[in-house]
Structure 1
Amino acid sequence: MKVLAIDTSNYSLGVAVINEEQVIGEYITNLKKNHSVRVMPAIEKLLQDCEMKPVDIEKIVVAKGPGSYTGVRIGVTIAKTLAWTLKIPLVGISSLQVLAAGVGRYFGGGVSPLFDARRGQIYTGLYQFQNGGLQTLAQDQIILTTDWVKQLQSFEGKVLFVGGDLPIHRGAIKESLGDRAVFAEITEHNPRPAELALLGHDLPGEDVHTFVPNYIRLAEAEAKWLEAQRELK
């Protein structure tokens, strides 16, 4: 089965095509540029280089968040449109899970992928490879970095932290966890779309029409609107 993966949930833009045996093609950039004008040309170029046509794709896997509100929305919208047009299954995978999968396969402890969520907060969760697969030990959430590392103090063993926004929070993590905190190399901070494709390869498709992103929190504009409505009551 040929699977197309799409990840625009943060600054990194990634697309990949895999089958049961290999990564056929993979494209990743980490640029502060508009994903909305770049992702479709990236997909077209990838398919062209892999000598494939859209009709050759048999499943779409998309990073469904959390992350940048706009970035997540762009990736999910394109994935839904392609899946509906091509009449193929659509699968959504946590953007944090993709990061964890890229570094945790040969790490014996927990993996805490993270994205900055402003005001001292991060999007994060806790994962670990167990019994041949990536297991979720703590669900994806938005939390103050200081509160998160306090929670991790009760976790036995070392914790590997990964993500492009890690430098923002590294000091607080190191101060709380000391030598139990392990930090991924810069070459590991970009989520690999091939890992995304692999995570969704064998999962059943979801309903295209009801599929929605997982923002974890409301967009700032929505939050302000709801607050204004409450004040009017």
Structure 2
Amino acid sequence: MRVLGIETSTDAGGVAIVEDGTLRAEWSLNLPRSHSLRLLPALKALLEALGLEPQALDGIAVGIGPGSFTGLRIGLSVAKGLAMALERPLAGVPSLDALVFGIPSRGLPVYALIDAKRGELFGALYRGGRREGPFEVLSPASVIERIRGGEFLLVGEGVLLYREEFEGLEGVEIAPPPCHHPRASAVAFLGWKRLRDGKGDDLNSLVPLYIRPSDAELKGPRP
């Protein structure tokens, strides 16, 4: 089964193809606010590099957040359009799950943290590769309170934003630089596993995982 993965929840987005559990190719897009311009050309280049037509895809996987509101809308729109046009199944993959996938944690619990703007973080706790509890909106101070005195591995662009606060905590480790963004290859692999097991999502009901209202919604309509 050949699955395309699309990840646009952060500036470091990308596209990848996993076939029968093996990564065939991955294109990264680490440019701020460029997904609307570069996503489709990157997808075309990826397929051409592998000598594939879109019809050769057996399924589509897409990162659904939490993350950038605009990026998520772009990625999901492209994924849904492809799934509809090709009549292929679609699987939504939480971007924090993709962020943690494949991280060498050495048995440590992992806190995955993505920038939520306004001094907040989107976060979730993982043990043994499995998420514990819900996705949350957290302040850096609340994360520090939870991990203080324990042993944890921190990963995600949110960790880098508040690195000075986190790296002084005893027992807390920060993942190396290549690990801090969800990768399209992880989205593709996690989506491939779901689609292989017949656990795709409904095309009409799949929506981004926002967790909190957008800035525009919080501000409300102008008087």
TM-score (norm 2): 0.91
Structure 1 partner of 2:178 = 187
Q: Structure 2 unaligned segments of length 5 or more: list them.
A: none
1:1-233 alignment runs, 5 A limit: 1-104=1-104, 106-129=105-128, 134-153=129-148, 158-175=151-168, 178-203=169-194, 204-225=199-220
Q: CA deviation at 1:221?
A: 0.7
Q: CA deviation at 1:33?
A: 3.8
Q: CA deviation at 1:150?
A: 1.3
Q: CA deviation at 1:99?
A: 0.8
Q: CA deviation at 1:97?
A: 1.0
Q: CA deviation at 1:172?
A: 2.3
Which secondary structure does the structure 2 equivalent of 1:84 belong to? Answer: helix
Tell whether the 8 Å contact from 1:102 to 1:192 is kept in structure 2 after alignment: no
Tell whether the 8 Å contact from 1:4 to 1:60 is kept in structure 2 after alignment: yes
- Stretches (4+) displaced over 4 A: none
Amino acid aligned to 1:141: E
Q: CA deviation at 1:103?
A: 1.2
**Aligned counterparts of 2:176 and 2:29: Cα–Cα separation in 1:** 17
Which secondary structure does the structure 2 equivalent of 1:5 belong to? Answer: strand
Q: CA deviation at 1:21?
A: 4.3
Q: Percent identity?
A: 34
Tell whether the 8 Å contact from 2:27 to 2:42 is kept in structure 1 after alignment: yes
Tell whether the 8 Å contact from 2:62 to 2:187 is kept in structure 1 after alignment: yes
**Aligned counterparts of 2:135 and 2:51: Cα–Cα separation in 1:** 37
RMSD of aligned Cα (Å): 1.8
Q: Structure 1 unaligned segments of length 5 or more: list them.
A: none
**Aligned counterparts of 1:138 and 1:145: Cα–Cα separation in 2:** 18
